[in-house]
Structure 1
Amino acid sequence: MPDRARKRAIRALAAELGVAYSVAARLHAAQNPAARPHADAPAASVDEHRAWMSDARANRTFHARVHDTRLAADLPLGRAEHLVRRFPPLRAITAAGPLYAGEGRETIIAMLYAVLRHECPALSPPADELAWAAELGEEAAVDIACAGLDRAARHLLDQGRWQLWARVETALTAGETDTDRRVRDAAITLGRELRSTSLRGSLEGVRHILDAVLVEPFGAPAPGTRIRVDGREGTVIGAEWERSGPPAGFRVRVDSEPLARVVPAAELDGGLDTGTAPEPDLIPS
């Protein structure tokens, strides 16, 4: 990439993330190894790239943070986009395999919200509450407002796939004739995706994302966290939820076992804190 084009790309990335030019330059180099100005500079590993992304998000300006929280409060499409950005794919570093993966994660999350708006409109937070939370620039505030909706969306994933897709199609069909233009436009967009894109391979990634956002208030391990079970190391790959309260248990892939098991929350030996869990979009205090 010519030097001028590289600098323009770095400036654009810095503006998008709200970070310093030097931070954006490192991120750009990690994403485009062939564009590094010095051929002998070492290529960044995946872990380094993740660390740089976490650093960038932790050092966002207040303006950038408010931009993110406004997106998080924009149901259904904006919040879906926000959550996918906030919990990026985690590469296969253990026997648990890749987590938070799938090209259709954003679309599926938005569809789940559309189903809930159609079937249970009372679950949607009041618009003024969401607007107030968004202006704080703190994602936790928006998460609190959307907690009931997020949990209900996660419960939708526990039913049979064919039943889920039927409910999605019904909700989107109804939304296409809704009197609210925003609802109508979102339904048309999502309906087009439903008919043209294979989404089945992204359902597990959506589970990981919703589990991750739901466990945060309880300080519980998110998918990707390394833990011990009966003294043996393993990786959390999901959470088990009741209608309310903290996770009742966790799906864990123990390194020495071929299949995942469900472990009651009380039986976890504790986290290993190896840094393998995706960063939950850190906000500086």
Structure 2
Amino acid sequence: FHLTATCGAFGAAAAAGAVLGLEAAAIAAALGIAGSQAAGSMEFLADGSWTKRFQTGWAACAGLHAAALAQAGFSGPATILEGRFGFLHAYSDGATTAPLAAREGYELMRTSVKPHACCRYMQGPIDAVLALRAAHRIEPDQVERVEVGMLAAGFPIVCEPADAKRRPASVVEAQFSLPFGIAVALARGAASPAEFSPACLRDPTVGGLMERVVGVRDPALDAAFPRAWPCWVRIALRGRPPLEAHIEHPRGDPESFLTPAELERKFRTLASRALPAAALARLEAALAGFPRARSVAPLLAAAIPSGT
């Protein structure tokens, strides 16, 4: 299952319920309603289908609908998470609610923010490659082989089938291809949305590098997962000593969080794809003032590109 889709509906329902000022019983109903809409398949990996994007938006939509229905008095099962036919039993084996009850604080504050425009399992390896590239001035034609130590959970998602991962045919396929992510980082020195593009898919330098990237299962890495998302990268170079880097916590994880400047840069990079400069400036101003705002209305209005 696609966790963003299955769990996202609950998060959206809780957030929408809070914004609507729902009481606890109504929020519980909203979560119950969201549970009937929590769905999402990972089959988009088979051919790079756009359902990857669709499922994320649909989860948000499902949460909004759930909160609105609960506000109108529609009921939903209060035991949607732990019940006999609830979410935990439907989507996992041996599930328990104990970790939820034992947690202190908000898990939202431990959310990772990806700096690179691709799968979560590729973030650490790309961090390592970019660090080695910057420190040692690696040229693509010097690279003979790149080995990447991977977590078992991510290996089938970004490394298999190996031939297909070395020949992504779409942007979505590239975003779930370890060979592409490593190759484009080596060739371009970045892994932003601009690098995960049709132009880079056709780049012969990137294509040549993909053939030299090999994912390696490493059980030693799994011992730390999911507390940490470790990886390692080894690069064999023509006429130069081999290079190696280890990453314990990828950039963007709570232990290695992005700086305010990096977050702002990511925001502008993504928002500018949908908003012109004037609208983007208004949205930034609305976000800056949001902690003191008495309503979400100004923020929502600023996010609409009309009137620019």
TM-score of the aligned structures, taking structure 2 as reference length: 0.23
TM-score of the aligned structures, taking structure 1 as reference length: 0.25
